[in-house]
A = this chain, B = another copy of it.
Amino acid sequence: MSHAPTSRFHGVVPPVVTPRTADGAVDTASLEKLTKHLLEGGVSGLFVLGSSGEVPYLTNGERDVIMRTVAGVNAGAVPLIAGACEQTTPRVIAEGRRLIELGADAIVATSQFYAISDAAETETHFRSLHAALDVPLFAYDVPVRTHFKLPLPVLVQLAQDGVLAGVKDSSGDDVSFRQLLLATKDLPDFAVFTGHEVVVDGALLGGAHGAVPGLGNVDPAGYAALYAASQAGNYAEAARIQDRLANLFNIVYAPTPGRVSPGAAGLGAFKTALVLLGVIETNVMSAPMKALNEAETAVIRTVLEHNGLL
């Protein structure tokens, strides 16, 4: 329900996509334009090096360039939450430290992956990260990638102990999400974000502090308006905006199933839309992901036009 934010982390915090040039290099000029586009759209923070930023495909050198570029344009305007995407505790710590030196205001980390772990190790994992990293720590719950749902009791305990500053939830488990909100509602410095583009209205009604929508790259102002309506207690208006954004989200169904991978479809759609909007130069993807083709681009153009963005 509506409430003035108590954490500095709140509102719309889009996961910044990674533009590439035609020859596959990180396109820093486009990334600068994209960062300005997001800030001008009224976002409250930036999630750098998230899944939508193709972080698992980036070499360490590329990660550094992206972190520096976004931090340069942002210049302290909004908090930068950076993803330390690594397999296990020792490697996340090393990655997190590097990102903090490059300007991260907070670090977001998943549970361990490739490892075969459990709830107890996961709790230790986050406690170790917290002890080793000098900025607020967010847990990223993304079982579709890690194949491990962060257990609700672990999250609640880590929140109460001040280990976690918040959670970015892409678990698709709205029941656990609501229980987490209820269990942490009295912790002023704890912030819960939904990562799901099409249910932000309900998440905010249930007490969430914000959203990390990949689609927010395409329409940051739309999500900012949705958040503002919710903050004003105007939930019917929030739902109307959400319905429009859910329709816009249909761009992710443009790619032909089988031609591009499930992972490339959504990200490719966001990048293609940003090309059509004139924000970035190409829709080239990190190898081995395939870019959307002309036919798929045409579908996206139609959806953008239908929703008044073109």
Most B CB contacts (10 A, CB to CB) among A59, A89, A202, A207 go to A202
Check if A146 is an interface residue, CB within 8 A of chain B. yes
Contact status A174-B145, CB under 8 Å: no
Check if A262 is an interface residue, CB within 8 A of chain B. yes
Check if A287 is an interface residue, CB within 8 A of chain B. yes
Given that A94-B59, A199-B178, A201-B205 are contacting pairs, would A288 and B114 also be in contact in the complex, using a CB cutoff of 8 Å?
A: no
Contact status B121-A261, CB under 8 Å: yes
The residues in A between 234 and 274 inclusive whose CB is less than 8 angstroms from any CB of B are 235-236, 238-240, 242-243, 246-247, 249, 258, 261-264
Query: In the bound complex, what is the Cα–Cα distance between A122 and B177 (angstroms)?
Result: 30
Contact status A240-B89, CB under 8 Å: no
Query: In the bound complex, what is the Cα–Cα distance between A116 and B56 (angstroms)?
Result: 10
**In-complex Cβ contact of A59 among B2, B90, B177, B242 (8 A):** B90
Contact status B114-A113, CB under 8 Å: yes
Contact status A87-B90, CB under 8 Å: no
Q: Which residue of B lies closest to A24 (CB)?
A: B90
Could you tell me the dominant secondary structure of chain A's interface residues?
helix
Check if A198 is an interface residue, CB within 8 A of chain B. yes
Query: In the bound complex, what is the Cα–Cα distance between A58 and B128 (angstroms)?
Result: 16
Query: In the bound complex, what is the Cα–Cα distance between A90 and B199 (angstroms)?
Result: 34
Task: Give the shortest distance, in Å, between A202 (CB) and chain B (any CB).
Answer: 2
The residues in A between 16 and 36 inclusive whose CB is less than 8 angstroms from any CB of B are none
Query: In the bound complex, what is the Cα–Cα distance between A56 and B114 (angstroms)?
Result: 7
Contact status B174-A202, CB under 8 Å: yes
Contact status A175-B202, CB under 8 Å: no
The residues in A between 37 and 88 inclusive whose CB is less than 8 angstroms from any CB of B are 56-59, 85, 87-88
Q: Which residue of B lies closest to A185 (CB)?
A: B243
Chain A residues within 8 Å of B, Cβ to Cβ: 1-2, 56-59, 85, 87-91, 94, 112-118, 120-121, 124-125, 128, 144-147, 172-175, 177-179, 182, 196-199, 201-203, 205-207, 233, 235-236, 238-240, 242-243, 246-247, 249, 258, 261-264, 286-290
Contacts A/B (CB < 8 Å), 27 sampled: A56-B87, A56-B114, A58-B90, A88-B288, A89-B288, A90-B286, A112-B288, A115-B145, A115-B263, A117-B261, A118-B262, A120-B261, A121-B264, A121-B290, A124-B288, A125-B288, A147-B147, A175-B196, A177-B199, A178-B198, A178-B199, A179-B249, A182-B243, A199-B206, A205-B205, A205-B235, A207-B239
